Each structure stands twice: as structure tokens, then as C-alpha cells.
């Protein structure tokens, strides 16, 4: 390779590496702000904001969804498989809201430590399969995906 070309190649490589390092530092320092939601453990440990709006993500515990009165209010428990938080929401839930499903709720904590949600979004997982496969997965609990 001619020296001039080699020099240009090295210059470009240095530029890309420099930009990557700068971005890595920037992302590292903004790491907490880039998190879209707090986990239930964060809330229980008091890392989540006390009086401000924030997002809470977790799995809806099976059998925890209840409607205490006849209205639109739903109460359910969220977990990240270590700590639990109770959530109350008044409104229409998205189609994918189910027990055992991941969701993200936007709202704030009240004095009792109950999360009062203003908005509930469903998070869906990265698995795609026909219903029959899902049914047989449930029955034998051995993987038959992408055989």
C-alpha cells in the first residue's frame, strides 16, 4: 500500500475509534437516563423517585389481577422475580395485557407504596410460534421451537 493511502487509512481508523470511545463514555454517564423503566426491585429499595412520575416495568403475577369494585379500576402485582409492587390503574388495558406478561406502567407511588398508573403499555416477548406449538410446549415443557 502506498504511504499516503496508508496514512489516510490510519487516520480514518483513529477517527472511528475516537468517536466510539467518546460515545461509550457519554452513554456510560447517561446510563440511568437511558433506562426506559425502573424495575420493581428499584422501587422496593427506594431507588425510584418518591413524588415524581416514572415508569415501572415487570411481569404481572399470575392470579394477582383483581377488580376491587365494579368500576374500571384494576389492581395487580408486578414482579421482577425478586421483589413485588402493587399497581392500580383505571382505564383500558392493551390487548396483550395478561397475567404472566411483561408490562410497563407510567405513574407514581402513593404514600402506601402502591404505584398509581396513568398509562399501561404491554411489552411482548421475542418468541413467535403457532398456538399449537405453544400448547404442546405447555404440556411437555420441552422445547420444540425451530426443530
Partner 1 sequence: MFLIPNAVVRFFHRMASPPHFYAFTDKVMPWLIIVFVLLTGFGLYGGLYLAPSDYQQGDSYRIIYIHVPSAWMSLFIYMVMAISGAIGLVWRIKLAEIVAISSAPIGASFTFIALFTGSLWGKPMWGTWWVWDARLTSELILLFLYLGVIGLYGAIDDKRVASKAVAILALVGVVNIPIIHYSVEWWNTLHQGPTVTKMDKPSIHVSMLIPLLLMALSFKFYYLIALIQRMRIELLQRERNAQWVKAKVSELR
**Residues in contact with partner 1 by the rule CB under 8 A:** 5, 8-9, 12, 15-16, 19-20, 23, 27, 31, 34-37, 39, 57, 93-96, 104, 119-134, 145-147
A 10 A CB-CB count for 112 gives 7
The CA distance from 117 to 106, in Å, is 5
Q: How far is the CB of 111 from partner 1 (least distance, A)?
A: 27
Q: What are phi and psi of 26, to 5 degrees?
A: -60, -45
Q: Cβ closer to partner 1: 29 or 112? A: 29
- Cβ neighbors of 28 (< 8 A, separation 6 or more) are none
Residue with smaller CB distance to partner 1, 28 or 50: 28
- In the bound complex, what is the minimum distance in angstroms from residue 137's beta carbon to partner 1? 9
| 36 phi, psi to nearest 5 deg | -75, -30
Query: In the complex, what is the shortest distance from the CB of residue 102 to partner 1, in angstroms, rounded to a whole number?
Result: 9
Q: Which is nearer to partner 1, 50 or 146 (CB)?
A: 146
Smallest gap from Cβ 50 to partner 1, in A, equals: 21
Residues 107 and 52: their CA atoms lie apart, in Å, by 8
Amino acid at each position: 500500500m502506498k504511504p499516503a493511502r496508508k496514512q489516510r487509512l490510519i487516520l480514518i481508523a483513529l477517527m472511528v475509534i475516537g468517536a466510539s470511545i467518546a460515545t461509550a463514555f457519554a452513554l456510560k454517564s447517561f446510563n440511568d437516563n437511558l433506562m426506559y423503566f425502573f424495575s420493581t426491585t428499584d422501587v422496593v429499595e427506594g431507588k425510584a423517585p418518591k413524588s415524581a412520575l416514572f415508569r415501572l416495568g415487570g411481569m404481572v403475577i399470575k392470579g394477582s389481577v383483581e377488580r376491587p369494585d365494579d368500576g374500571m379500576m384494576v389492581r395487580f402485582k408486578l414482579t421482577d422475580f425478586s421483589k413485588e409492587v402493587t399497581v392500580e390503574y383505571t382505564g383500558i388495558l392493551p390487548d396483550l395485557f395478561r397475567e404472566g406478561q411483561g408490562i410497563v406502567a407510567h405513574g407514581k407511588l402513593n404514600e402506601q407504596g402502591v404505584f398509581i398508573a396513568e398509562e399501561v403499555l404491554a411489552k411482548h416477548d421475542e418468541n413467535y410460534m403457532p398456538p399449537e406449538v405453544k400448547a404442546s410446549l405447555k404440556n411437555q415443557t420441552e422445547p420444540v421451537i425451530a426443530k
